[in-house]
Chains A and B, each alone.
Chain A
Amino acid sequence: MKIRIIKKEDTADLLKEAAKDWDVYAPQRNLGGDIWFDVLPKSGADLDKALESIVLDNTDTVISSKDAFFPQLESLFRFDNNNIQEAVESSPKLLFGVKSCDLKGVLFSDAFFKRNLEDKYYLSRIKNRFIVVIGCLKPPRPTCFCTSAMSGPFAKEGFDLQLVDYKDSYLVETGSKAGEEFILKFNKYFKDSPRDSGKAIDEIKSRSAESVELKVDFQKALELMGQESFIPEENYKRIGERCVYCGGCLYVCPTCTCFNVFDNIKEKSGERLRNWDGCVFEGYTRETSGHNPRKEKWQRSSRRYEHKLKYDYQLTGSSGCVGCGRCLSSCPVDIGMSKFIQEITEKRMIV
């Protein structure tokens, strides 16, 4: 694989040019100081301003990049009297600066939305997409545990291009045919890299991996969760007592894909929409009759952990946790996947 190099200062121009052909998503610092993975305006002064707000180095994006393909709120169709108009969105998307853990989340969601009957909305959004991963030199969050979850800090596959931070430039690895074509199309920005850059990349990757301090026995957790009723109900009850059921962990999670569907109507016309929903909410399984099979808080806590670490793994061979650590960093009561894993693998009370 040929390694290229691009100057950091050239990336804004590259994205400006790419914005003509793609909806470009990149991590941007907003007025409040948080970094959101959001779409850039298409052109003009707004685009220039947004390009200036892009932060690529060691960024902690509040929400993963899942929103680009599975928006928090999206229209399924519009209706006027009884005429239905499908609202499928399929413009090509370029995601620039995706973290390797989030890429794993994207690939996991891709497989999920293809399983059983296909989800046209999701699949239309991922068609013609282009993903540029940026590896992490050090963990953006103290709660990151990607080396344990085997999801980072650099991606091994599934990207079109992967950037490796190198002095005033990025070394660029190509992961697909589309990646090669992209480099040819924008060849004025990409130069051949210095001869020893392969070795430099290896060194950077291993140094980066060493910098991830939080380590958990992920594989052991998956094995333990696979055993019938291994986790005593008391563990879930303790979590259930502490959890405030805000749903923050679900929204920030790269693989949470549950949604609600509802209609919004004004007189005779309106639309059917879907928005993110989640298993920790009391109303999530409550039936019209009032019967609720997961009425108790602890049943919902159990659902969340067992879905990610047990059923996802049993069904697909990969766990629904990618080790991004956002559930813990966003939690107001200090509960998170890494702590749960430590508790069950190290048999000590943490959560």
Chain B
Amino acid sequence: MKNEYIPFPAVIEDVKRETFDTKTFRVRLQDKELAGLFKYKQGQFMEVSVLGEGEAPISITSSPSRKGFLEFTIRAAGRVTKSIHNLKKGDLLHLRGPYGNAFPFEEIKGKNIYFIAGGIGLAPLRSLINMVFDNRKDFKHIKLLYGAKTPDELCFKDELDTWKKVPDTEVWMTVDKPCDGWGCRIGVVTELWKDTDVHPENAVSIVCGPPIMMKFVTMKLVESGFKDKDITVTLERYMKCGIGKCGHCNIGGKFVCVDGPVFSYEQVKSLPHKEGAF
């Protein structure tokens, strides 16, 4: 029987600073055989360990369409993530997984796609975004609506520029507190509705961000005519095991780690409101 709790080593190949508290770690599984067999889906997460410090669930930000490595974008927030930030190229991380379900991909082909992200919420979406771009012809118009507290806190700045240049693609940004030379909107993500049309026709929206942002964005999408089933979110919960056992991520009868983290807004609405999906 496979022991799901035993992590396997992965070598850090590259560390890229995204913001003052966020870095992207590119890793490769140390065991070549395992690396050859390893597969994951867009939107899944892994349990990432630093032995002796602990383990944290981190979404895979790289796209399954780009093989041979894995990327995790991690904000130094707690004990484990702070200790991951102390690691450098050549050091080891320990991984378990991948766990959880995936963002829809086949189901959204031929559609207009609205990616809506807040802060580091862009990290889980990036897996699907790059997968969509790697199959660009299969999708219609793409818009990314992205908000952060300050311009410094926007992640993936190089890629935001690259994505802008892809045909039939728009990137709209907003920040709460601008700096000198900020040329985009100021305010919360839903303010971007003033900059660009958000049309439900033949469209799906995929949302990730802090709970309060998800709450207002989903409300705004419904107001704009999106059906509940055409809004997809990915949820974050305190989590320990990743395999539906430890109980921490339970919402109603669902485990975010197994039944999620990706849910349609239709599913989210069926979860007990008092347990606060977001």
B32 interfacial contact with A, CB 8 Å: no
A residues with CB within 8 A of B: 76-77, 79, 82, 84, 86, 88, 112-113, 115-121, 123-124, 233, 257-263, 265, 268, 270, 272, 274, 277, 279, 284-289, 291, 293-294, 299, 302-303, 306-307, 310-311, 314-315
Cα A61 to Cα B112 with chains together (Å): 62
B238 touches A306 (CB 8 A): no
| Contact status of A86 and B6, CB under 8 A, knowing A115-B244, A299-B275 | yes
Question: Which A residues lie within 8 Å of B258 (CB)?
Answer: 116-117
B238 touches A287 (CB 8 A): yes
User: Chain A's nearest CB lies how many Å from the CB of B268?
Assistant: 12
A77 touches B6 (CB 8 A): yes
A288 touches B77 (CB 8 A): yes
10 A-B contact pairs sorted by A residue (CB < 8 Å): A77-B5, A88-B3, A258-B246, A259-B241, A259-B246, A268-B52, A270-B52, A274-B240, A286-B238, A307-B250
A262 touches B6 (CB 8 A): no
User: Chain A's nearest CB lies how many Å from the CB of B15?
Assistant: 19
B252 interfacial contact with A, CB 8 Å: yes
| Contact status of A120 and B4, CB under 8 A, knowing A261-B241, A285-B248, A286-B238 | yes
User: Chain A's nearest CB lies how many Å from the CB of B242?
Assistant: 8
User: Chain A's nearest CB lies how many Å from the CB of B30?
Assistant: 9
A259 touches B6 (CB 8 A): no
- Secondary structure call for the B interface: loop
A263 touches B53 (CB 8 A): yes
User: Chain B's nearest CB lies how many Å from the CB of A168?
Assistant: 45
B2 interfacial contact with A, CB 8 Å: yes
A79 touches B275 (CB 8 A): no
| Contact status of A116 and B243, CB under 8 A, knowing A233-B274, A293-B276 | yes
Cα A329 to Cα B4 with chains together (Å): 37
Closest to A236 in B: B274
Additional 17 contacts, C-beta under 8 A, given A116-B244, A259-B241, A293-B251: A79-B51, A86-B3, A116-B245, A120-B2, A257-B247, A258-B247, A260-B240, A260-B246, A270-B51, A272-B5, A272-B51, A274-B246, A303-B275, A306-B252, A306-B272, A310-B253, A311-B250
B68 interfacial contact with A, CB 8 Å: no
Q: Please report which residues of chain B, range 1-28, place their CB below 8 angstroms from some CB of chain A when the two chains form the complex.
A: 1-7, 9
B81 interfacial contact with A, CB 8 Å: yes
Question: Which A residues lie within 8 Å of B251 (CB)?
Answer: 293
Residue from B4, B81, B255 whose CB has the most chain A CB atoms within 10 Å:
B4
Residue from B1, B237, B238 whose CB has the most chain A CB atoms within 10 Å:
B238
Cα A274 to Cα B4 with chains together (Å): 14
B54 interfacial contact with A, CB 8 Å: yes
A258 touches B248 (CB 8 A): yes
B81 touches A79 (CB 8 A): no
A311 touches B252 (CB 8 A): yes
Closest 3 CB pairs of A and B: A258-B247, A293-B276, A265-B52
Q: Please report which residues of chain B, range 253-278, place their CB below 8 angstroms from some CB of chain A when the two chains form the complex.
A: 253, 255, 258, 272, 274-277
Residue from B243, B244, B246, B277 whose CB has the most chain A CB atoms within 10 Å:
B246
Residue-by-residue, is B24-56 near A (CB-CB < 8 Å gives 1, otherwise 0)? 000000000000000000000000000111110
Cα A62 to Cα B83 with chains together (Å): 40
Question: Which B residues lie within 8 Å of A274 (CB)?
Answer: 240, 246
User: Chain A's nearest CB lies how many Å from the CB of B153?
Assistant: 14
Question: Which A residues lie within 8 Å of B250 (CB)?
Answer: 279, 303, 307, 311
User: Chain B's nearest CB lies how many Å from the CB of A17?
Assistant: 31
Question: Which A residues lie within 8 Å of B128 (CB)?
Answer: none
Q: Please report which residues of chain B, range 44-83, place their CB below 8 angstroms from some CB of chain A when the two chains form the complex.
A: 51-55, 77-78, 81
A288 touches B51 (CB 8 A): no
Residue from B3, B247, B252 whose CB has the most chain A CB atoms within 10 Å:
B247
B51 touches A119 (CB 8 A): no
Cα A257 to Cα B245 with chains together (Å): 8
User: Chain A's nearest CB lies how many Å from the CB of B152?
Assistant: 18
User: Chain B's nearest CB lies how many Å from the CB of A231?
Assistant: 10
Question: Which A residues lie within 8 Å of B92 (CB)?
Answer: 82
Q: Which of A116, A265, A268, A314 contacts B253 (CB 8 A)?
A: A314
Question: Which B residues lie within 8 Å of A121 (CB)?
Answer: 5
Residue from A123, A279, A291 whose CB has the most chain B CB atoms within 10 Å:
A291
A261 touches B9 (CB 8 A): no
